[in-house]
Amino acid sequence: MALTEKDLKEIPETGINPGNPGKYQEFLEDLQGNILKGHGRDYSVHLFLKWKLEQVKKAKQWIKNFAQTYVTSAKQQADEALKYRTQKITGSVFANIFFTRKGYQALGFGAIQIPKDQPFTMGMKHEQIRDSLGDPEVEEWEEGFQQEIHALILIADDVPDTLSKTVDEIKRELCDVAVIIHQQDGFVLRNEAGQVIEHFGFVDGVSQPLFLQGDIEKAQTKDCNFSLWDPRAPLEIIVVKDPNGKRDDSYGSYLVYRKLEQNVQGFRGDQQKLAHQLSINNDLAGALVVGRFADGTPVTESDVPTCCGTPPTNNFNYDADFPATKCPFHAHIRKTNPRGDTGKVESSPGCDEALAMERNHRIARRAISYGENDPNQTPETGSGLLFLCFQANTENQFNFIQARWSNPDRFVQVGVGPDPLIGQPEGTQKWPKQWGGTETEDYDFKLWVSMKGGEYFFAPSLSFLTCLV
Ligand code: HEM
């Protein structure tokens, strides 16, 4: 029996168990991997494609073969992860395929067959979208992203050699049916403790919506039974019905892709300036910008880093810090997930309702770094984050976070300032009084992240891909 609306709204308390999926069996078999949980491979290659319009029939055949041979379902991803954990048998090369609205059209699909999300329909280059997100003119994007993009192929593995051999083979096969307009190579950057970090040096990928039983159980043990923050999420925030799926439970997800360059040297310089201005140490200055110390310790919980290589907690909220004397309102993680702050400002609909609404804006982040792979270097250009996130509704999720929370000076309160990591345009932020800032003294933390291009995609179901004619 097909999943009901209730099944999408209410995830079982313990999450979905791919080892014993029950009513989720077909759903997991037909959904692409990487959506409910990151693929976890250390290296990935992203190929941006444009179909050759005179070869559409062949292109469809190619997609069908590619899906049958390479594309990993959510079920296969989970089965391979289990085999690795229990028998140390490594999984196969991981692959996804995603289409843009123009990509569907180029393959001959009509309006009713194309997923309906508004930003996906408009495309990231659309002036209205760029205006709302605060993105630069398309002429300033990297050349590869300025062109019309039809599809994105993601191929990932832990062994660089295996990956590059597979990518070469796929590229050879592709040349008959598509032009590869751009390639992005990504890798997982790690600190000395082996934790995943981004280029500014902060542990990343900690706070995510969780859907699967194994992830929920692990987090529940680490995070005191979710007493302050519950990371569990219903399927309705991440999947939508695939209009072309061939099974009762054919679902897909919208992917937002953004290439975000990070000027590490600039960031570090500003971090030091901020430390000096507020008479605090460098670590704390960084934590006031991000909301967590580099090791992941939430600054609302402690004014010194305490994780030191152990997995950071995600069991916290800002209830006891509403004046924001510990974690500034503008800190990146407080802007992008206010954890209940919106219920505490004037004219809010009430705490529970506001928190429930906030939680509907959550995204599943699947970013990976690019550029310099030595974390001790401080590049000014050429390095950054390939920011990917999945969701069911891009207007209400990624776009909402960027345009309504991160960018505005007035979120969550008037005069708070934009998010100093990703808020556009850059602006001045107010720093908590006890760290030396005053209500009147603003500090200009420059924006060291620049958007180099991107696009909206849809991840179709496997039954659609493997039945293409
Ligand atoms: C180069 C750009 C970016 C950098 C360096 C960056 C860095 C970080 C770091 C260090 C964390 C804390 C660790 C964690 O919870 O995973 C974080 C969390 C987060 N980031 Fe970003 N990020 C970037 C871009 C973005 C963008 C574009 C968005 C969405 C508009 C975003 C949304 C989030 C969210 C939702 C969280 C989790 C907040 C929470 O639940 O506490 N980030 N980011």
* Residue 159: inside a domain: no
Residue 199's domain spans which residues?
Answer: 188-469
The candidate with the shortest Cα–Cα distance to 260, out of 369, 407, 120, 404, is: 369
333 lines ligand 1 (CB under 6 A): yes
Nearest residue (by CA) to ligand 1, atom 27, is 422
For residue 232, the cross-strand partners are 210
Tell me what pLDDT residue 440 has: 42
Under-50 pLDDT residues of the chain:
439-440
Q: How far is the CA of 413 from the centre of ligand 1 (A)?
A: 20
* Residue 393: inside a domain: yes
Structural domains in the chain (count): 1
233 lines ligand 1 (CB under 6 A): no
The dihedral region occupied by 172, where left means phi > 0, alpha psi between -120 and 50, and beta the remainder, is: alpha
Tell me what pLDDT residue 436 has: 54
Q: How far is the CA of 335 from the centre of ligand 1 (A)?
A: 10
Tell me what pLDDT residue 448 has: 95
* Residue 48: inside a domain: no
* Residue 54: inside a domain: no
Cα angle value 332/207/36 (rounded, 5°): 125
Question: In this structure, are residues 158 and 90 in contact, taking their beta carbons and an 8 Å threshold?
Answer: yes
Instruction: State phi, psi for 261 to the nearest 5 degrees.
Output: -80, 140
pTM: 0.97
Spacing of C-alpha 245 from chain mean position: 25
321 lines ligand 1 (CB under 6 A): no
* Residue 141: inside a domain: no
Tens digit of pLDDT for each residue in 312-347? 999 999 999 988 999 999 999 999 999 999 998 866
Nearest residue (by CA) to ligand 1, atom 14, is 206
* Residue 286: inside a domain: yes
445 lines ligand 1 (CB under 6 A): no
Tens digit of pLDDT for each residue in 205-245? 999 999 999 999 999 998 888 999 999 999 999 999 999 99
* Residue 69: inside a domain: no
Stated as kind and residue range, the H or E segment containing 332 is: helix 332-336
Q: How far is the CA of 207 from the centre of ligand 1 (A)?
A: 9
Tell me what pLDDT residue 429 has: 81
Best mutation site among 422, 446, 447 for ligand 1, i.e. most ligand atoms within 8 A of its Cβ? 422
* Residue 345: inside a domain: yes
Nearest residue (by CA) to ligand 1, atom 25, is 422
Tell me what pLDDT residue 11 has: 77
